[in-house]
Amino acid sequence: MKIILNKKEYEVSQYKLKDWLISEEIREKILDSAKEGKIDSVCNNVFSYIEKAIFTEIPQNLPWYDVAQAFMSISNLNVPNLIPILLGKISSKREAWEYDGRLWFMWANSFAQCYGYTLEYIAQMEVNDAIPLLQEIALQKQFDREWQWSLTEIAYPYNEASHRSEFHALARPDWMQISLKPLAPPKKKRMPKDAMPMGLVIGMNDVISE
């Protein structure tokens, strides 16, 4: 896909896993900064996000619309296929062992441990292959934990009412309890004629549909 910025054309392609994870961390910083109302940080990270994709520094005084179009195009190009593990809640609590860039090492560790892949190989994995594989790793770990749990005494608490021990299953993460339903088609809405734009108008939605 081509994007035009500062009168120059840049070819951008879908990220491989490592670059995608780094760009996702930048996107997360944008959202976090926006929540805290930190305008400078939002803008700086929007520029970082674009610069990462085009491998070039861009001047900060470019028209906002061009920057926004570039950001949305790159962002939409790298939207992964939606699978349940992506719908899980992410804790906003920052643990003591967190640091910038950890996401990549976390994923690399999982793939290296489970499949014996090298870091170079993992970095170049397709995002839409890596995410389902990570889900399989997480599922396997959860089923192993459930099996171990079922062998422990605390999984069978005594019920005073029935005078019997009853099995209590180990709680599953929320993404294992969500089933993906196909989206209903959007409802058609009538737009007042006088609210329609005149001439050739390229809005954010045109960028998204590309």
Partner 1 sequence: MLSLNEAAQLYVAIKPFMPLERKVTPLDFMQQMVDNILKSGNDDDYLAIISILQQVSPETVAEMPPAEIIPIFMQGMVDNKVYDLIDFFERLGL
* Residue 54 engages partner 1 in binding (rule: CB under 8 A): no
Residue 142, burial from CB neighbour count under 10 angstroms (0-12, 13-18, 19+): middle
Q: Which of 54, 62, 137, 139 binds partner 1 (CB under 8 A)?
A: 62
- Taking the CB of residue 100, how many other CB atoms lie within 10 A of it? 9
* Residue 57 engages partner 1 in binding (rule: CB under 8 A): no
The residue type found at 164 is R
Q: Which one, 17 or 46, has the nearer CB to partner 1? A: 46
Residues 77-136 that bind partner 1 (CB under 8 A): none
How long is the chain?
210
Q: Which one, 64 or 105, has the nearer CB to partner 1? A: 64
Q: Which of 198, 173, 199, 20 is nearest to 103 (CA)?
A: 20
Q: Running DSSP on this structure, what letter comes out for residue 119?
A: H
**Of 125-133, 142-150, 176-184, 188-196, which segment contacts partner 1 by CB under 8 A?**
188-196
Instruction: Return phi, psi of residue 35, to 5°.
Output: -60, -35
2 strand-pairing partners: 11
Q: Which of 1, 8, 35, 180 binds partner 1 (CB under 8 A)?
A: 35
Q: Which of 60, 81, 152, 162 binds partner 1 (CB under 8 A)?
A: 60
Binding residues (CB under 8 A) for partner 1: these are 30-31, 34-35, 37, 39-40, 42-43, 46-47, 60-65, 67-68, 72, 192, 194-195, 203-204
